[in-house]
Amino acid sequence: MFAYLREGDGGRMMVALNFDDRPKRVAVPVSADVAISTAGERAHEKLRGSFELGRDEGLVARLDS
């Protein structure tokens, strides 16, 4: 499991990558909208508090300010 935040003029993004063959729980510092995911059905999903990242899944989410 590897996760990090990127900040810039356009806002804050979170990248979360699960390299394990088991799902992992990820904490979200604020609510966020999934921008892209390797699990296509997650696009535009709203994340709050924490979420489960599927096995071998990666996603990028835009954090709310």
Domain ranges of the chain: 2-63
Convert 15-33 to b/e letters by CB count within 10 Å (16 or more is b).
Answer: ebbbeeeeebebebeeebe
Residue 34 burial (CB count, 10 A): 20
Residue found by looking up tokens 């699960």 in the block: 18
What's the Cα-to-Cα distance from 37 to each of 9, 54, rounded to whole Å?
Answer: 23, 10
The DSSP 8-state label assigned to residue 55 in this structure reads: T
Phi then psi for residue 6, to 5 deg, are: -120, 135
The class of domain 2-63 in CATH terms is mainly beta
Tens-level pLDDT at each residue, the chain (65 residues):
999 999 998 899 999 999 999 999 999 989 999 999 999 889 899 999 999 999 999 999 999 97
Say what the pTM is: 0.88
